[in-house]
């Protein structure tokens, strides 16, 4: 009965994730709020240049790479506790672990996508290279002036609306008003920071006590309780030496190379976010806020299906 209830809850979780992704795709087709701007604004005057990171490569690094890594690690590696002792899971338990981990990744990506697509449309902030995309018609600037008090100094020192743009590609013009927050930075941190947390949990990096994802605890004999109300999970993962009544415990060496695992996805996320600033696609604040949104959704997605890494 409990197993059937968990299956239903997981199915609902996946439906919510799919619905969130669908909503975000619909939001991406909505016209953003196209703010007025000044053609002398130097923060919008950066040149357009080819991106260092193409969209397919970005998707591969930010979404496909975490997805495949989680699948491989969940199915083909053993759970490591801290102190490091290998705990061998059965294949059905590994599948439940995989489902819990993928649900967390889905929550992180779906939530962050809905947030940044909605905020982009609401804010309508112009990109650093917006004027090169817009190609304003300066000869007719008086016809498109909507405000500003700088006309006495220069006829160009006024606020104009988007109608001044000679850009015929309307999709590119709409995208020019979607700078805040950075979508690349948001998704990169939502996927790769989640992967860092997952690897920390899986290999016991920074975990003070042994732990297992909540879906595993709820669906296997891990939640069996002794008469003294002590969880069986603790006995399963702890070595015999740790369960002895001896007060003397020898320190167990921890593989130092495992400390590098969480830094690889994190460094990749920082690189992806940085390319948006270097390529003049987002302002610095846009990148930082996007990274913060992705980090928060990744942490929330992880905690929904995993215990805390720090007890």
Task: Return the sign of the alpha-carbon dihedral for residues 153, 156, 157, 163.
Answer: positive
* Greatest mean pLDDT range, 75-79, 122-126, 207-211: 122-126
Identify the DSSP state of 44: G
Three-state DSSP at 213 gives: coil
pLDDT of residue 87: 57
**Pick from 14-28, 206-220, 287-301: least confident:** 206-220
pLDDT of residue 161: 95
What are the pLDDT digits (tens) for 143-188? 999 988 888 888 999 999 999 999 999 999 999 999 999 999 999 9
pLDDT of residue 264 exceeding 60, the answer is yes
Mean pLDDT for 256-275 is: 90
In DSSP notation, 25-56 reads HHHTTSPP----B-TT-GGG-PPP---SS-HH
Q: Is the pTM of this model over 0.95?
A: no
In the chain, beta strands by DSSP E: 79-80, 86-87, 145-147, 159-160
pLDDT of residue 81 exceeding 90, the answer is no
Distance separating the N- and C-terminal Cα atoms of the chain:
30
Given pLDDT bands bounded at 50, 70 and 90, which one contains residue 270?
Answer: very high
Three-state DSSP at 225 gives: strand
Mean pLDDT for 212-232 is: 39
Q: Domain boundaries in the chain?
A: 50-126+170-239+255-305
CA 299 – CA 303 distance, rounded (Å) = 6
Contact 70, 265 (CB under 8 A): no
Nearest residue to 119 (alpha-carbon basis) of 34, 179, 184: 179
pLDDT of residue 21 exceeding 50, the answer is yes
CA 188 – CA 300 distance, rounded (Å) = 15
Mean pLDDT for the chain overall: 83
pLDDT of residue 47 exceeding 90, the answer is yes
Strands 79-80 and 86-87: antiparallel
**Pick from 70-84, 204-218, 293-307: least confident:** 204-218
């Amino acid at each position: 009965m409990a197993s059937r209830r968990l299956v239903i809850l997981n199915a609902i979780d996946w439906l919510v994730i799919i619905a969130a992704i669908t909503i975000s795709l619909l939001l991406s087709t909505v016209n953003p709020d196209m703010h007025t701007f000044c053609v002398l604004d130097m923060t919008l005057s950066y040149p357009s240049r080819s991106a260092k990171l193409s969209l397919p490569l970005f998707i591969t690094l930010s979404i496909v790479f975490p997805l495949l890594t989680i699948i491989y690690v969940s199915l083909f590696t053993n759970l490591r506790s801290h102190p490091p002792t290998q705990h061998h899971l059965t294949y059905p338990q590994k599948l439940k672990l995989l489902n819990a981990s993928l649900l967390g990744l889905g929550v992180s990506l779906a939530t962050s996508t809905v947030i940044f697509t909605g905020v982009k449309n609401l804010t309508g902030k112009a990109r650093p290279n917006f004027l090169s995309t817009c190609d304003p018609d300066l000869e007719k600037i008086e016809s498109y002036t909507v405000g500003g008090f700088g006309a006495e100094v220069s006829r160009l020192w006024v606020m104009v609306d988007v109608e001044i743009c000679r850009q015929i590609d309307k999709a590119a013009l709409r995208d020019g008003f979607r700078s805040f927050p950075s979508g690349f930075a948001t998704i990169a941190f939502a996927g790769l920071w989640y992967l860092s947390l997952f690897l920390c949990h899986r290999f016991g990096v920074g975990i003070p006590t042994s732990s297992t994802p909540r879906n595993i605890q709820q669906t296997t004999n891990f939640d069996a309780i002794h008469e003294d109300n002590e969880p069986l999970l603790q006995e399963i993962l702890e070595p015999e030496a740790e369960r002895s009544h001896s007060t003397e415990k020898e320190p167990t060496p921890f593989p130092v190379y495992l400390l590098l695992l969480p830094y690889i996805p994190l460094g990749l996320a920082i690189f992806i976010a940085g390319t948006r600033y270097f390529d003049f696609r987002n302002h610095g604040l846009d990148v930082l806020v996007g990274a913060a949104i992705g980090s928060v959704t990744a942490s929330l997605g992880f905690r929904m299906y995993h215990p805390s890494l720090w007890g």
